[in-house]
């Protein structure tokens, strides 16, 4: 029974962390959608990278905590964080700018089912 209680508490913690991640990601996406570049690191600009570093570090820390909990619960890694990381970095000159990409992410997240 103690193990079941521990796993239940861990799962509740995981859900809380995932909610925290979503809140932080949406806040960052809204800022980017309003015109602040750097979240997706498309231009590899040092100043933009430095300005957004605390946001990225926070998302990485929360994402790692989620993955640690998911591993203990025998769950797959946190896919949303993996998708976000994969969306960062240089892109072709024809790619949508960061504000448009952020808005597309916001639209996609809004369309996701709850839970």
User: pLDDT for 2-37, tens place per residue?
Assistant: 888 999 999 999 999 999 999 999 999 999 999 999
Q: What is the pTM of this model?
A: 0.91
* 99-110 pLDDT tens trace: 999 999 999 999
Distance CA 81, CA 67 (A): 9
Instruction: Tell me what the mean pLDDT of segment 30-59 comes to.
Output: 94
Distance CA 65, CA 73 (A): 12
Query: Per-residue DSSP letters for 86-112?
Result: HT-S---TTSPPHHHHHHHHHHHHHHS
Give how far the C-alpha of residue 82 lies from the chain's centroid of Cα atoms, to the nearest Å: 8
């Amino acid at each position: 029974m103690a193990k079941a209680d521990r796993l239940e508490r861990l799962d509740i913690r995981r859900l809380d962390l995932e909610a925290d991640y979503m809140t932080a990601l949406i806040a960052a996406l809204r800022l980017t959608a309003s015109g602040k570049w750097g979240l997706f690191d498309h231009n590899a600009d040092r100043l933009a990278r430095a300005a957004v570093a605390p946001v990225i570090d926070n998302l990485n820390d929360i994402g790692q905590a989620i993955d640690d909990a998911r591993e203990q619960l025998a769950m797959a890694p946190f896919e949303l964080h993996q998708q976000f990381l994969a969306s960062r970095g240089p892109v072709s000159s024809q790619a949508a700018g960061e504000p448009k990409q952020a808005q597309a992410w916001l639209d996609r997240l809004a369309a996701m089912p709850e839970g």
